[in-house]
Amino acid sequence: MAPAALLLKYILVRDKYKREPMRLIGVTFLLGALGIIPATIIELLLGFDNILVTTFLSVAIVEETMKYLAVRAKAYNSINFNEVMDGVVYGVAAGLGFATVENIFYVLGFGTISTALIRAFMSVPSHAAYGGIMGFYLGMAKPFRLSSKQHERKLIITGLAIAILLHGLYDTIAFTQEGLAGLAGLLVMTAISWVILLRLIKKALSLSPIRWGVTSPYPVTYQTYTNRFCTQCGFQREFASRFCINCGRAFEQAN
């Protein structure tokens, strides 16, 4: 349980512009944890002989859908969910809730230190990353829930697809590779997932209405303030500059 607590604390610290109510975070965490029950039942019913079909269809799709439903059931409809970073926070909470219960079952079932360590440093962080990535796209989608259901669905499906792909690849390595090669593969997949999540967190923070000094809530888009901040990294643009001094991106036009 310790890795989940530390990772959740890290994400909450990153949410520096507007903190979410701990009660809603706790509810989302609990819903993610309860998701292990239907996920386990469905996975047992969808047993396949083919490893790829098993890892993607009966594991990755099922588990990421449970995390999505955990966020959608309560947090997504809350007035507190009003910026993109909120999606990341609640997505990570749902992912860590799921991972915590799963981790307890695995450690109690196998009862080895190596199992606990591998899951602490790779499996639990990976679940958090998948949830956070999915949550980012939920945060991007919510502004369109009233104006464009089609665009909302497209963003939600995109987030789920990325999470499912990463999860499926991770589990495929876990089921097919052994020894140091397997550990290296899992470590690489965990690192890739977190690189993606951290980049999305940076983008989410750059879109915060509070950062821009906007009094109204959703939506704040990349196009809203293209002349003030870099659209790639979110760094504040120097007056009359043609390139971002942080990432080097060329601006289409000067201030």
pLDDT given at position 219: 47
Instruction: Count the helix, strand and coil residues of the chain and give each as a percent rounded to the nearest 5.
Output: 70, 0, 25
List of residues 6+ apart from 236 with CB closer than 8 A: 228, 229, 230
Q: Encode 107-134: b = buried (16+ Cβ within 10 Å), e = exposed.
A: beeeeeeebeebbbebbbbbbbbbbbbb
Q: Quick check: 138 and 163 in contact, CB under 8 A?
A: no
At residue 184, what are phi and psi to the nearest 5 degrees? -65, -40
* Among 84, 60, 66, CA closest to 173: 60
pLDDT given at position 209: 77
pLDDT given at position 110: 67
* Neighbouring C-alpha atoms within 13 Å toward the C-beta of 231: 13
Q: Give the domain ranges of the chain.
A: 2-212, 225-255
pTM: 0.81
Q: Quick check: 244 and 237 in contact, CB under 8 A?
A: yes
Q: Quick check: 140 and 79 in contact, CB under 8 A?
A: no
Each of the 255 residues of the chain gets a pLDDT tens digit; together they read: 788 899 999 999 999 888 899 999 999 999 999 999 999 999 888 877 788 888 888 899 999 999 999 999 999 999 999 889 999 999 999 999 999 998 888 777 766 677 677 777 788 999 999 999 999 999 999 988 777 889 899 999 999 999 999 999 999 998 888 878 888 999 999 999 999 999 999 999 988 877 766 655 554 444 443 456 676 666 666 555 677 767 777 776 533
